């Protein structure tokens, strides 16, 4: 419910179910792979109506990122890609990393 509320507040014109699924999968991945520590969520809507979902955690590593995003196994990142999400990750200046998903609204 929290993700859906935050998504609704962004005013994003895309599919809220797809975005909520992407948020859920990223948060579950962070909880599963990072363990303890703080996890943050930022949602940004751009002028082109692209939605950027960022999940940040304190672990600066993402072992097996290429394999995780290329697999056809039913993993969280695979589900996000199947829904049209573009997945990247980057190191944060302070500490940790951000795993990011970019979604685009369906053409009108």
**What are the tens digits of pLDDT across the range 64-83?**
889 888 888 888 899 999 99
- How much is the pTM? 0.89
Q: Is residue 62 part of a domain?
A: yes
Task: List the domain range (segments joined by +) for residue 65.
Answer: 2-103
Identify the band that residue 3 occupies on the pLDDT scale cut at 50, 70 and 90.
confident
16 occurs within a structural domain: yes
Concatenated DSSP letters of 54-94? EEEES----TTHHHHHH--SS-HHHHHHHTT-EEEEEE-SS
Residue 92: inside a domain: yes
Q: How many domains does the chain have?
A: 1
User: How far is residue 68 from each of residues 22, 88, 98, measured CA to CA in Å?
Assistant: 15, 11, 16
- The yes-or-no verdict on residue 44 having pLDDT over 90 is yes
Looking only at the bridges linking them, the beta strands covering 97-103 and 51-57 are antiparallel
Answer yes or no: is 73 within a domain: yes
Residue 108 lies in a domain: no
Query: 88: number of CA atoms within 13 Å, CB side?
Result: 7
| CB of 37 closer than 8 Å to CB of 56 | no
pLDDT digit string (tens) for 21-42? 999 999 999 988 887 788 999 9
């Amino acid at each position: 419910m929290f993700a859906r509320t935050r998504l609704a507040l962004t005013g994003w014109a895309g599919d809220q179910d797809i975005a909520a699924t992407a948020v859920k999968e990223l948060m579950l991945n962070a909880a599963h792979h990072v363990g303890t520590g703080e996890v943050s969520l930022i949602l940004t809507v751009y002028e082109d109506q692209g939605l950027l979902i960022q999940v940040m955690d304190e672990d600066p590593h993402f072992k097996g990122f290429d394999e995780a995003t290329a697999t056809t196994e039913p993993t969280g990142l695979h589900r996000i890609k199947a829904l049209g999400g573009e997945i990247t990750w980057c190191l944060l200046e302070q500490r940790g990393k951000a795993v990011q998903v970019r979604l685009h609204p369906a053409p009108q």
